Amino acid sequence: MKNLKLFLPVIVFAVLAVFMWRGLYLDSRTLPSMLIDRELPNFELRTLEPGDQLATVEDLPDEPFILNIWGSYCLPCLQENPIFMAAREQNLVPIIGVNYKDTDDAAREWLDINGNPFTLNIVDDTGRYGIDLGVYGAPETFIVDANGFIRYKHIGTIDYRAWQDEIMPVVRQLQSENQVAGS
Amino acid sequence: MSVSATLIPGRRLQPQYLLACLACVFAVWMIISPEVQAQAPVDVYDFETTEQEQRFRQLSNDFRCPMCQNANLSSSPGGVAADLRREIYRMIMEGMSDEEIEAFMLQRYGDFILYRPRLTLQTVLLWFGPILFLLAGVWIARNITRSSGGRAETTDETERETAVTLSAEEKARLSRLLNDQPDADNPTNRS
């Protein structure tokens, strides 16, 4: 019993060390999404191009696609753009843009300068649709399956590594699921 | 207590007293002022009743900003915080209850949005951890005071022997030393 008491500080230290060590690698900046495996919330929003048409979830692809929350003010979005452009050129997966809390003019100018990787861009200038998606800042990226269910969410910049190691494996998985279901 | 200490001439102010006092004042201040926070951003919303306005204040204080994570919605200047305040305003004006508004937030942002976490299996330690630590502290403090208090009447063999073998001469020397007088038996030890 006395020996056990002697080791009490060591035990306390060990317990604290384990918790704090784990704490070092916890990422508190990225919130777990509540929407995984839930249906993409409905919307009725303007499209950025070709013009002021209204779009709803019915206008989204009926194959797996990527939904990217972006804005012309958002620096990380600029970083993501070449990756998305390459994906569009190679016809890997449709990418839908949600122009989040931006102005149409600035957004169109940004696309003119940097290239437009989006097959469709919907305008969420008030951020109301963003709230439905649990978005708290661009860029955020969702992967939606062929049935319109959100299957994955990435918060923050998608760099080349995230694209290769996180996004594309999920996309391929969903695409093969879709092919099995279609055949 | 530190103030009176400085008033007594010749008695030095102990820095740890001052520190303890400051800590107490700070702790009391943290407890009594519920809104120790940055200046809240100004929204201009019109309410029909003061009750609605109060609910708006209460709700935007209770929800946490998902972007600037250490602020509530009412004190956060972040873009999404303003959007969420606007949504709270809309829902209040549409006559939704506090519970419905909370459900709206939870559905989109999860437990994270609540500044006062719900009591679940995951948050049990969060809620009761402090009490646990307090009890542990009380237990440790009691053990320490008990063991030091018990030493005087100890029955430990070696300690009693030491007490007994102090001769009268040694006791006299000890009391001299304790009274901070020069040691007569050992003249070299004057420094």
d(CA B76, CA B60): 10
Q: Would you place residue B191 in the very low, low, confident or very high pLDDT band (cuts 50, 70, 90)? A: very low
| Alpha-carbon gap, residue A69 to A148, rounded angstroms | 17
pLDDT digits (tens, 9 = 90+) for B16-53: 777 887 887 877 777 776 555 445 566 788 899 999 99
The pLDDT value recorded for residue A47 is: 94
Q: Which residue has the tokens 């969060």?
A: B126
**Chain B within 8 Å of A132 (Cβ-Cβ)?**
yes
Which residues are CB-neighbours of B60 under 8 A, at least 6 positions away?
A: B72, B73, B74, B84, B85, B88
Q: Which residues have a Cβ under 8 Å from the Cβ of B158 and sit 6 or more positions away?
A: none
Res B153 pLDDT > 80: no
What is the predicted pLDDT for the residue at A64?
96
CA distances to B34, B54, B59, B71 from B92, rounded to whole Å, are 24, 11, 10, 22
The reply to whether A35 touches chain B by the CB within 8 Å rule is: yes
Residue B156 is predicted with a pLDDT of 55
Q: Which of A136, A140, A142, A155 to mutate to test the interface with B (most CBs of B within 10 A)?
A: A136
Strand partners, A143: A66, A152
Phi/psi of residue A155, each to 5°?
-100, 130
Nearest to B109 among A28, A34, A126 (CB): A34
* Residue-by-residue pLDDT tens, chain A, 183 positions: 667 778 888 999 999 999 999 988 887 777 778 899 999 999 999 999 867 789 999 999 999 999 999 999 999 999 999 999 999 999 999 999 999 999 999 999 999 999 999 999 999 999 999 999 999 888 999 999 999 999 999 999 999 999 999 999 999 999 999 998 876
Give the residue extent of every domain in chain B: 2-32, 50-114, 119-145, 160-191
Residue A35 and residue A129 in contact, taking contact as beta carbons nearer than 8 Å: no
Expressed in angstroms, the distance from the first to the final Cα of chain B is 35
Query: Above 60 in pLDDT, residue B11?
Result: no
What the block records as the tokens of A43 is 């919307």
Would you tell me which CATH number, out of the four given (3.10.20.740, 1.10.8.640, 2.40.30.10, 3.40.50.300), belongs to the domain B50-114? 1.10.8.640
* Six-digit token string for A120: 């469709």
Q: Do B80 and A126 touch (CB under 8 A)?
A: no
Query: No. of H helices and E strands in chain B?
Result: 8, 0
Report the alpha-carbon angle B36-B37-B39, nearest 5.
130
pLDDT surpasses 90 at B166? no
Number of residues in chain B: 191
Query: Per CB distance under 8 Å, which residues of B are interface residues toward A?
Result: 66-67, 69, 78-80, 83-84, 87, 106-110, 112
Look at A46-55, B49-58, B176-185 and tell me which has the smallest mean pLDDT.
Answer: B176-185
- Are A151 and A143 contacting, i.e. CB atoms less than 8 angstroms apart? yes
Q: What is the layout of strands, in order, in the sheet containing A140-144? A: A120-124, A95-100, A65-70, A140-144, A150-155
Task: Inform me whether the C-beta atom of residue A56 falls under 8 Å from chain B C-beta atoms.
Answer: no
Token pair 């469709």 in the structure block, residue: A120
Residue B154 has pLDDT above 70, yes or no: no
For residue B4, the model assigns a pLDDT of: 46
What secondary structure does DSSP assign to B105-139, as a single string?
HHHHHGGGGBSS----GGGHHHHHHHHHHHHHHHH
Question: What's the sign of the alpha-carbon dihedral A13, A14, A19, A25?
Answer: positive
Task: Tell me, yes or no, if A12 comes closer than 8 A to chain B by beta carbon.
Answer: no
Residue B187's pLDDT is what? 54
Ramachandran class of A45: left when φ > 0, alpha when ψ lies in -120 to 50, beta otherwise? beta
- ipTM, interface predicted TM-score of the complex: 0.84
Give the pLDDT score at B3. Answer: 47
Distance of alpha carbon A61 from alpha carbon B70, whole angstroms:
38
- CA A66, CA A151: separation in Å to the nearest integer? 10
Nearest to A162 by CA among A34, A60, A68: A68
| Domain regions of chain A by residue span | 39-182
- What is the distance between the alpha carbons of residues A128 and A140, in angstroms, rounded to a whole number? 15
Residue B33: predicted pLDDT: 66
- Contact criterion met (CB < 8 Å) for B83 and A127: yes
pLDDT in tens, B130-139: 999 999 999 9
- Look up the CATH architecture of domain A39-182: 3-Layer(aba) Sandwich (3.40)
Taking an 8 Å cut-off on Cβ atoms, the answer to whether A32 and B110 are in contact is yes
Residue B185 has pLDDT above 60, yes or no: no
The whole-number average pLDDT for the span B46-70 is 90
Most confident of A112-116, B116-120, B144-148: A112-116
